[in-house]
Amino acid sequence: MASCAGRYVSAISVTSSRSAAADGVGVTGHDVVRGAGDAETPVAASTSGTATVTGLSAGTAYPFAGYARDAAGNRSVRSGAVDVTTGSGPAAPCSSG
């Protein structure tokens, strides 16, 4: 497994999952936003549960959160924020798995 510690990555992949909506309309996608509190910027959307966020800067902290969307166009409440800080080292491919 490769380590990303200390490396600057300009993109991250976000994987999310939600259980079926209470109204019986299944989740069809996810929206990823950057921001905290009332301020947020949409940064990615996915129908597969995995979204990639690009354009990140070195040595920068980013708060990310997400929403689930259903086939009727309803959106869930926003998830809790996850704080991600990019490394300040040289840009390099980085993966784990």
Question: At 1, is the pLDDT very low, low, confident or very high (cuts 50, 70, 90)?
Answer: very low
Question: At 83, is the pLDDT very low, low, confident or very high (cuts 50, 70, 90)?
Answer: confident
Q: CA 53 to CA 65: how far, in whole Å? A: 12
pLDDT of residue 62 exceeding 70: yes
Strand partners, 34: 41, 64
Question: At 7, is the pLDDT very low, low, confident or very high (cuts 50, 70, 90)?
Answer: low
Q: Do residues 3 and 85 lie in contact, with contact meaning Cβ atoms separated by under 8 Å? A: no
Query: In 10 A of CB 33, how many CB atoms?
Result: 21
Domain edges within the chain: 11-16+25-85
Tell which CATH classification among 3.40.50.2300, 1.10.260.40, 2.60.120.380, 2.60.40.10 matches the domain 11-16+25-85: 2.60.40.10
pTM value?
0.69
